[in-house]
Structure 1
């Protein structure tokens, strides 16, 4: 792989351990707080919030848990993937610009990046709710390219979902499937150090 000028990381399943945070973390959390909605209805409400149609407060209200559920409490269920900070330090030392491209609710993305101390290392955050487009739609990759200001082939894109990797490759990124091409941040750090 060509040495990157930028590395774009996915959030769920890459920066954070849970690959399917909606099914693994959000649906149980909402049910524990008394929502009568089905998992499918909670997932659809989340999809709307991840497109910016609802704020996080609107999500809690729409799922019937406003007043008992909150952003900080929910986000505390997430865990940072082992080796992330070491990778970020290696990238910084190599002069590689770091970014995150994620389907997420704006407020939850902010809480998580602050909670795990990622704001100083990861310079650019393109979050679906902020722009009204979700991966794997081409427009979200075009927005990331615009923000990076470099040719896409000078950027690595790391995601754990095949559809997102394919779409990134079609947008010109050097796409890396986390879980197949690399299985840990140690391997990603080693690839960057080569």
Structure 2
């Protein structure tokens, strides 16, 4: 099945939105999220010592490869990334599976599994936050209400007709947000 560039952009935008909503919700909750750290060993890790942990010269383990192994251990078929890169989450992976991966495997090395390995500096920058709020305001004005977070601060996103219509109406706001995120990511963080 061939995926159009527009469909790919919509899926990327959906993924970016899901992470930004989760980050924004967690940041506003006033409590630390209840999830393992990126360097915590993964539960049920059986891939020969490839659970959790940052890549250091001493460990010899690339964090992307470690995370990919944890993903496979938890039912998501993914190839090992090249050294220094992050695993690519397969299109169509349900949000509940992504939530499970984050709880079991921790954050994807580089932070933000669905945002291209962005640092928290990028996601928390005042510029990104302002654009995110503009985008979310547009989404609400166009009929999409952000789901309430669960007890752990996680937001379960579902693509509904309301979401799709609002996403289409808020293309310019989403494009501005995506552009700023990419710009800051290329610069290596928030300015």
Fold shared, TM-score > 0.5 on shorter chain: no
User: Could you say which structure has the higher strand fraction?
Assistant: 1
TM-score, L = length of structure 1: 0.31
Q: Which has the higher contact order (CA 8 A, sep 6+)?
A: 1
TM-score, L = length of structure 2: 0.31
